Amino acid sequence: SIPESDRRSFYDRWVNVRVQSRTDWGLFWQLGLGLTALTLIIVGITLRWNRKLAKEVGERVAAEEKMTAMSQAIHDALIMIDGDSRIMYWNQAATTMFGIPAEEAIGQDMHALITPIEYRGAAMIGLKRFTQSGQGPVVGALQELTAQHADGSIFPVEVGVSAFQMDGAWHAVGTIRDVTERKEAEQALAKAEAQSRLILESVGEGIFGVDTAGGLTFIN
């Protein structure tokens, strides 16, 4: 029953809402600058981290290359094994000494590869002790042992072994030197000395030697 003029007056006064839209450029620039600053911070941190990581990787690679070059340059065989006797490192000298390329040696059982069969039982007993404690009959001592070439030939070697832990497990790294020539020279010298002594003992005259202080050094 409200007249149309009154209804329209009420509607315009209480109901009709005019909305005026505009762009708040101040807020826009604040958000934009904030996002830009945050992006720059993230990019800066990422670049710094990448630089640091690249430097560390470069230093590690350089150290590994240096160690590889050094290990390849030495004349002794350099071999590293884990607690199960699996070969983890095998240098060029080891390849030359045993006639086995590194790609064939890595991952193989070292004792099955280069230890003569008659010594493998004792080697496995020592390996069991080494796995538990890092100790063993060849650890920390320079010893003369016997090794086996890929062609089955046996030759004398001088072995030095050190133990270390990596990821909670014992590993061993050892140097192996072929002492065939030295042993042959020692045997030749011992034979020559024995022959000389036999000759001196067989002559019919007394022979003796003295040092500079007048002390006897030899008498037949």
CB-side neighbour CA atoms (13 Å) of 60 = 6
Per-residue pLDDT at 192 exceeds 60: yes
Whole-model pTM: value is 0.58
pLDDT tens-place string over residues 141-171 = 888 999 999 999 999 999 999 898 888 889 9
Can you tell me the distance from the alpha carbon of 165 to that of 130, in angstroms, rounded to the nearest whole number?
Answer: 11
pLDDT tens-place string over residues 23-68 = 666 776 777 777 888 888 888 888 888 888 877 777 776 666 666 6
pLDDT at 96: 92
What's the chain's average pLDDT?
A: 84
